[in-house]
Structure 1
């Protein structure tokens, strides 16, 4: 049975120059829980950062963090010595491990605000070696693109967990099958646009899953940006993450 996570479930822990709509994936389940996660997929912050904002240097521990920018440019600086502009098509994975510090800035005179996802995954164990990865991809792929996967996968970015992350940028009228991996459950999130999964309409800030059967192909009702998470729900995981280890807000 298809289950839908509606946008009215989300909280906004930050508002103003930095507004984060916090998607807590466990809200897609029927039962009450204090854990926000869907297996090791802990939290998705759908964020808007206004021009002129600086999020000062701060520390993460035991968070695996994918930064996925849809529009605008975030200027990244970190404890590994990298200073890199992150914009659409430039992916960044921060594997915080035992300790990782970073700062994000949006320049006052840039053309537009930043809209992005910060995706927090729980690593398989605590205090792994900190590292950072970057990867460039096309920004208008109408077929699925594998962005992130475990260490033994063919993904360009590695997460130290049994999680795969894909994106796709389909156009109105397209129809797409959904990738499947045996033993992994899907969490399909709409960042932009509108799609139809069977008889279920899914819009921006919403997600769907099926706990019993593969998700069917979906139709594109309005040009969209869609992310697919395939998650090993039984994977061992660390609960010590700065953000990924938090309880529900």
Structure 2
């Protein structure tokens, strides 16, 4: 089953410094048809104004993956990690037993990013943070693991969850096939362009929940980039 979630039907809000769209329900006033998919509990599409961001706050027992679509995010946490992640690249934070962090747009243009939260396979553990560049040419015409808890996904950032975060860049008319595990579910969001997933049209900012399918075909209607998360 495919559940198309158009951008216009997502929860969210405009808070001035932050414009947010929530692919999964995050409050008791939200759209409960947009339920979590197992361990995948949050997928926010955020736009953060220059000079603003999320001040110091805490998390525990969560794998938080940020895919930067535009601009650069600046990270700092209480374990001594500090760095920046630019457009097209990925950062991962394993909150583990607890971490305090801040995320800011210190640039001159709006920062656009996906924030993806996945529950870990087990609680606790030392908190950690990492970032890595993922050149778009390496994803041209194929899916590449960006963050993963699967040991065989060489080159991906490590997450402590039974899940994979993959990305691809397709030219108009290109297609890729992806086979899911028999008990897996997945969620896909185009970061750019328009594509079809098993014939269902999905535009930039839309999402599609993939439930109980073992094979999907993704075809670009126009030049497109997308992120796919499979929860194993």
Relative to the length of structure 1, the TM-score reads 0.81
Residue number in structure 1 paired with 2:71: 72
Q: Report the count of equivalent residues.
A: 225
Residue number in structure 2 paired with 1:119: 116
Residue number in structure 2 paired with 1:191: 191
Q: Once the 2 structures are TM-superposed, how far is the Cα of residue 54 of structure 1 from its aligned partner? A: 3.4
Name the SS of the counterpart of 1:208 in structure 2: strand
Cα distance per residue 1:146-168 (max 9 Å; x no partner): 01221634242122221111001
Q: Once the 2 structures are TM-superposed, how far is the Cα of residue 80 of structure 1 from its aligned partner? A: 1.9
CA distance, structure 1, for counterparts of residue 13 and residue 60 of structure 2: 20
Residue number in structure 1 paired with 2:51: 52
* Cα gap change, 1:2 to 1:90, in 2 (>3 Å): closer
CA distance, structure 1, for counterparts of residue 143 and residue 199 of structure 2: 22
Residue number in structure 1 paired with 2:148: 149
Residue number in structure 2 paired with 1:102: 101
Name the SS of the counterpart of 1:102 in structure 2: strand
> 5+ unaligned residues in a row in structure 1: which ranges?
27-31, 233-249
CA RMSD of aligned residues (A): 2.3
- Greater relative contact order (Cα 8 A, min sep 6): structure 1 or 2? 1
Residue number in structure 2 paired with 1:238: none
CA distance, structure 1, for counterparts of residue 34 and residue 218 of structure 2: 29
* Cα gap change, 1:211 to 1:54, in 2 (>3 Å): closer
* Cα gap change, 1:8 to 1:120, in 2 (>3 Å): same
CA distance, structure 1, for counterparts of residue 164 and residue 12 of structure 2: 26
Q: Once the 2 structures are TM-superposed, how far is the Cα of residue 128 of structure 1 from its aligned partner? A: 2.5
Q: Once the 2 structures are TM-superposed, how far is the Cα of residue 84 of structure 1 from its aligned partner? A: 0.8
CA distance, structure 1, for counterparts of residue 223 and residue 104 of structure 2: 29
Residue number in structure 2 paired with 1:129: 126
Q: What are the equivalent positions in structure 2 for 1:16-95 lying under 5 Å apart?
A: 16-24=16-24, 33=32, 36-95=35-94
Cα distance per residue 1:6-25 (max 9 Å; x no partner): 22331115521122211107
CA distance, structure 2, for counterparts of residue 51 and residue 129 of structure 1: 32
Relative to the length of structure 2, the TM-score reads 0.86
Range moving further from structure 2, 112-121 or 186-195: 186-195
CA distance, structure 2, for counterparts of residue 69 and residue 88 of structure 1: 5
Residue number in structure 2 paired with 1:214: 214
